[in-house]
Amino acid sequence: MPPVKNFAPALPLGLDNWLMSFTEIEFESERFLHSLYGENPENLRLVEKALGATLVARGGVLRIEGDEEPLARSEELFELLRVGREQGFSPRNGDFNRILSKVAEGKGEEFRELFDEPLVLKLHKTSVVPRNLGQKKYLRKIMENDVVFGLGPAGTGKTFLAMAAALDSLLRGEVEKIILARPAVEAGEALGFLPGDLEEKLLPYLRPLYDAMDESLGGVEARKLLESGVVEIAPLAYIRGRTLSKCFALLDEAQNTTSSQMMMFLTRLGEGSKMVVTGDLTQIDLPRRWDSGLVQAVKILEGLDKIPFHRFDERDVVRHPLVSDIIRAYDAYGEKNRRNVEAKGERPQENG
């Protein structure tokens, strides 16, 4: 039901701090109200600190006390959380902190746009909902185009959302097969020195794709699709020579492809198929003498109307809030290093 607002009458000078304005918002249930702040009372204390209001939750009613602006901001915050929750958005602590920060900065409009015309992928027993506006725009591009590039740092949901879109296309009958590929490039280790046969050696490089599938669909359903061959997770080299028709193909960690590998993958596209290419241009593990196929693809293909590129940055990270701080710190270090190099005419140090 709509909030019931009560405002304190004007008091004689010097007594205005004795009684503050307040509003009460009644939600459908106590459980629903608690779900809005992740059932964590500390989140209410964070709201009080960030917005300058006093919050008391009793049953399904939230009482907010404070001056006019803190009251308005607090109401806006919980209205956004309510609308999102009703659309299937279940805020984790990190989500709650991000929404709170935007509202405190007067930028709550970003989340209103996120929750306007909700984009929800229903995958059997679970639903996938974009957790920020960048994710929504990225997912929309995937659904509306045959080839999409997703670029940005770790933790922005590039691979997970592409995986969810692939499973959604499969369940809708839009494609008949999903292929998930990664280049088998070692981050500082040689494959030949690792124990086991080829499949065992490659498993660590493909594990993030298995994890994304499990999170999207659940372990049991994911295993069924893998065992039936409907979903194939493989090193990029295994794609060579094939035409991918009625297929959703995802190339992950594409910054570690060579130029020829990237062209090979993109030209596998067949009738009724979709492709998503994801990567982080700051995390290239190729030997220095090799050029990144993703870097080259950006130079050649960005700007083509039918092949959209979506760029994430540290503000889109949906992992632990510290991940954004870490990425910002490394970016600042990299920029400082580049300026020093330009001044000295030397080669820059690698960031990762």
The pLDDT tens digits of the residues spanning 164-193 come to 999 999 999 999 999 988 887 643 334 454
Can you give the pLDDT at residue 10?
Answer: 41
Helix (H, G, I), strand (E, B) or coil at 319: coil
The pLDDT of residue 188 is 39
Can you tell me the distance from the alpha carbon of 261 to that of 240, in angstroms, rounded to the nearest whole number?
9
Query: What is the DSSP code (8-state) at residue 218?
Result: -
* pLDDT reported for residue 135: 92
Residues in the chain: 352
Q: Please indicate, yes or no, whether the overall pTM of this predicted structure exceeds 0.95.
A: no
Burial (0-12, 13-18, 19+ Cβ within 10 Å), 238: middle
Report the pLDDT value the prediction gives residue 347, as an integer from 0 to 100.
53
**Whole-number pLDDT of residue 45:** 93
Q: Where are the alpha helices (DSSP H) in 52-92?
A: 68-86
Q: Which residues of the chain have pLDDT under 70?
A: 1-20, 93, 125, 185-206, 289, 319-325, 327, 334, 341-342, 344-352
Taken in order 22, 26, 30, 36, is the CA torsion positive or negative?
negative
How many CA atoms lie within 13 Å of 287's alpha carbon, on the beta-carbon side? 4
Work out the end-to-end distance of the chain between its first and last CA atoms, rounded to an integer number of angstroms: 52
d(CA 191, CA 195) in angstroms, rounded, equals: 9
pLDDT tens digit sequence for 283-313: 898 887 688 999 999 999 998 989 999 999 8
Query: What does the DSSP 8-state code read for residue 314?
Result: G
Tally helices (H) and strands (E) across the chain: 12, 12
